[in-house]
Amino acid sequence: MSRKAIVSKNQIIQAAFDIAKVSGKNSITIRGIGTMLGISTAPIYTQYKSIDAIMEDLITFVNSKVHESTLKERSINAFLNLGVGYLDFVIENTIIFNDFFLTMGNSILDSNIDNDLYLEQVKKNPFMSDFSNDQLKSILYDMSVYTYGLAAMICTKTDVKHELRHYQDMLEKTGNKLISYHLYSSGKYESVINKILDEFSKHIDIREVLKLWEY
């Protein structure tokens, strides 16, 4: 008697993700997942009773993949890494983003803004520590709107080769402007500038720099 195939939920969801990445979520079927895994549909039904149940776990899996990408260290700026990571996922998974974020109402605006882990990520930047949690959430929200717009643009311009570095530069420039605005509007600009100068003076002798102006 042949040995019965065993498959885990993780294998099923990964196979569903791989199908959606190439052909879209509407192409996901239990038979198609079985073909992807090289098994019949019977082992899949021991883990999931329906395709709807698979889709529920797939949505969670997609969100976790986005989250994982935003926490990767791509620069020394922890705040910048969030947006760059998001767009990196979009560039690599355009069809996934279109199906699960543009058409299902499941966006960065809904799922990420209140995430304490993202707040802690932003706070790693010492010059953001003067902001309150509410102010940081406001900054994250504003930047999320901009990032989401870039992501939508990436999905609509399918005939263009999207370079992550290009979008990183855009995010950095816009983020700096946004932070400056919040610093001015909250009256914290002077304290942050003093902090920057203090850090600067720890590494460079200001007196030596001033001497250069004498020549």
% pLDDT > 70, the chain: 78
The residues near 206 (Cβ < 8 Å, ≥ 6 apart) are 200
% pLDDT > 90, the chain: 50
Q: Running DSSP on this structure, what letter comes out for residue 99? A: I
Pair 19, 119 in one domain: no
The residues near 126 (Cβ < 8 Å, ≥ 6 apart) are 195, 199
Contact 120, 126 (CB under 8 A): no
Q: Running DSSP on this structure, what letter comes out for residue 39? A: S
| Structural domain boundaries, residue 34 | 1-49
Pair 70, 43 in one domain: no
Alpha helices in 1-93 (DSSP H): 9-23, 30-37, 42-45, 51-70, 78-92
Pair 196, 143 in one domain: yes
Q: Is the pLDDT of residue 103 over 90?
A: no
Q: What value does the mean pLDDT of the chain take?
A: 82
Pair 167, 67 in one domain: yes
* Residue-level pLDDT at 2: 44
Pair 15, 103 in one domain: no
Pair 154, 198 in one domain: yes
* Residue-level pLDDT at 83: 93
Spatial separation of the C-alpha atoms in residues 188 and 190, rounded to whole Å: 6
pLDDT digits 0-9 by tens, 34-53 = 999 999 999 999 999 999 99
Pair 85, 189 in one domain: yes
Domain-embedded: residue 139? yes
Pair 21, 71 in one domain: no
Domain-embedded: residue 57? no
Closest CA to 63 of 11, 17, 30: 17
* Residue-level pLDDT at 203: 52
Q: What is the CATH number of the domain that holds 7?
A: 1.10.10
Q: In this predicted structure, which of 40-49, 69-78, 120-129 has the lowest mean pLDDT?
A: 120-129
Pair 81, 138 in one domain: yes
Spatial separation of the C-alpha atoms in residues 19 and 126, rounded to whole Å: 42
* Residue-level pLDDT at 183: 76
Closest CA to 83 of 113, 45, 40, 42: 113
Domain-embedded: residue 149? yes
Domain-embedded: residue 95? yes
Pair 68, 139 in one domain: yes
Mean of pLDDT values over 176-184: 81
| 138-155 CB burial, b ≥16 within 10 A, e <16 | bbbebbbeebbebbbebb
Domain-embedded: residue 56? no
| Domains contained in the chain, number | 2
Pair 34, 69 in one domain: no
Extract the runs of DSSP E, i.e. beta strands, from 147-215: none
Contact 69, 88 (CB under 8 A): yes
Pair 80, 114 in one domain: yes
Domain-embedded: residue 40? yes
Domain-embedded: residue 20? yes
Spatial separation of the C-alpha atoms in residues 32 and 40, rounded to whole Å: 10
